[in-house]
Amino acid sequence: MRFVQRNILDVVTPPRRAKTQMQTLTEEQVHQLLDVIEGDRFEALYILALSTGMREGELLGLRWKDINLERASLQLQVSLQRSGNTYILAEPKTDHSRRRIGLARHAVEALRRHRVRQNEERLRLGAAWDDSFDLVFPNGIGRPIQPHIIGQTQFHRHLEKAGLPQIRFHDLRHTVATLLLQRGINAKVVSEMLGHSNISITLGIYAHVTPHMQETAIMAIDLILSKGA
């Protein structure tokens, strides 16, 4: 028997993981998508995604008890996560992912309509509806819905109908962050909204927005330095 004197893996350079290209929608394209999803069973889910930047698992794990419509806010406590061949509701992996998110008026109104529609479904199904999960966006009987049904099937169908590029569902999160930064919203606020552990992560991901932010800053400086401003 012969022994190798050193681990050959020490001299092997592992292949770099290819980065998925980020694609975002413009404000005009967001309105096109909103027109298409109007009246859809998951209309509120898409509006929430487009107004909060929440991850898909966070949206699908959201419970009614985590939402306060009167105060227009929600508290992220759990998310839908894969465990083997099934999906479970589990606590987020980081403390920053457990966060409070304010809700825009459009999101509150959409959630109110959604709750009415869901209560009607529950009444129709009676005992067949599973009340144990308290999910805002469950499947047809109240249980967790598999992400691919939303992110890969229904979402792409809506994009096609709206004549929009076939982006990933996760790109809605990037869309929210990009549009907010372009409108001059403080990067720290956007970072906290997305649940990033620090602002450098946000600025690193959305570096493509930085030139626009710098232009806005330069315009502000010009106003400050101008006489009579």
Enter the DSSP assignment of 145.
Answer: P
Confidence label for 207 from pLDDT (cuts 50, 70 and 90): confident
**Predicted confidence (pLDDT) at residue 77 exceeds the cutoff of 70:** yes
Task: With cut-offs at 50, 70 and 90, classify the pLDDT of residue 123.
Answer: very high
Which amino acid is present at 220?
Answer: A
What the chain holds in terms of domains, given with CATH numbers, is 20-169 (1.10.443.10)
Q: What is the mean pLDDT of the chain?
A: 88
Instruction: Encode pLDDT of 148-190 as tens digits.
Output: 889 888 999 999 999 999 999 999 999 999 999 988 899 999 9
Looking at residue 219, what is its pLDDT?
84
Report the share of the chain in percent with pLDDT over 70.
Answer: 90
Cα 138 to Cα 133: distance, rounded to the nearest angstrom: 9
Contacts of range 157-163, beta carbons closer than 8 Å, 24 or more positions apart: 158/33, 158/36, 158/37, 158/40, 158/46, 159/33, 161/36, 162/29, 162/32, 162/33, 162/35, 162/36, 163/32
